[in-house]
Amino acid sequence: MGNRPDELRALLDSVAKQDGGPVEVVVVGNGSPVPDVTGSIPGVRTVELPENLGIPGGRNVGIEAFGPGGTDVDILLFLDDDGLLARHDTAELCRQAFAADPELGIISFRIADPETGITQRRHVPRLRASDPMRDSRVTTFLGGANAVRTKVLAEVGGLPEEFFYAHEETDLAWRALDAGWMIDYRSDMVLNHPTTAPSRHAVYHRMVARNRVWLARRNLPAPLVPVYLGVWMLLTLARRPSRPALKAWFGGFKEGWTSPCGPRRPMKWRTVWRLTRLGRPPVI
């Protein structure tokens, strides 16, 4: 968004220091000018969008900067502009992981606070999240710190631009899993990122609820849609949000049912079973 120039330069410096071959970089200004990044990485490219397309829309523009569907490269890394690659071997570890496992489609990095080293529970993309140092197969990934094989995008498409913010990663993850790809969480691929609360965004509660409905409507077999959304409604109420937050949440939930959500492509029942075996059946 152009409001963190110092953090962006630090991130680019951490990318420039990666071992192995050079990493091509595109910086997308999502409805804002891109700060001066000359000198950070040779050949860094910039794209300035006239309006904010949201997180998935902006990232899709970044994908296309590497050719149609990103096909000029084999792997795409998505990194939040206020993050910092903690190690110099992250890019090389990505190359090795994808080369060793032809079924691997997406890698979710570990996000750690730069001051404390702590990884928030919400940043471990599985239900059993108490040990962030344990690597595992997972059913979704973190949008601000990940690597995606471009063959996945060529097969299942990019991020759902309609979502604007929240749950776009899970939509892509479910489509990838349905196509036979796997997703790994890797604790040794680290993005340092300050600890924050997702509710800091004014649109958080409405978008989370609306997009949760869209996610179900787009991807789940019909019998699972009410189960999935019913479970999430109970979980939301159990967390006892404030009255304004709850009002925004129910407004978003209604919007999710009354507004178009894009094409519906329900996953196969064998994908439901795969998600269940991976520890997260698509009802929670």
Summarised one tens digit per residue, pLDDT across range 222-276 is 999 999 999 999 999 999 999 999 999 999 999 999 999 999 999 999 999 999 9
- pLDDT (tens digit per residue) in 22-71: 999 999 999 999 999 988 788 899 999 999 999 999 999 999 999 999 99
The upper half-sphere exposure of residue 42, i.e. CA atoms within 13 Å in the direction of its Cβ, equals 3
Predicted TM-score (pTM) of this structure: 0.96
The end-to-end CA distance of the chain, in Å, is 32
The answer to whether the CB of 155 falls within 8 A of the CB of 179 is yes
Strand, coil or helix: 36 = coil
Could you tell me the fold of the domain covering 5-192?
Spore Coat Polysaccharide Biosynthesis Protein SpsA; Chain A (3.90.550)
Choice among 65-69, 200-204, 215-219 with the minimum mean pLDDT: 200-204
Strand, coil or helix: 60 = helix
- pLDDT (tens digit per residue) in 239-248: 999 999 999 9
**80, pLDDT greater than 90:** yes
- pLDDT (tens digit per residue) in 113-149: 999 999 999 999 999 999 999 999 999 999 999 999 9
pLDDT score for 202: 61
pLDDT score for 197: 74
**200, pLDDT greater than 60:** no
Task: Give Cβ neighbours of residue 261 (< 8 Å, ≥ 6 apart).
Answer: 162, 213, 214, 217, 218
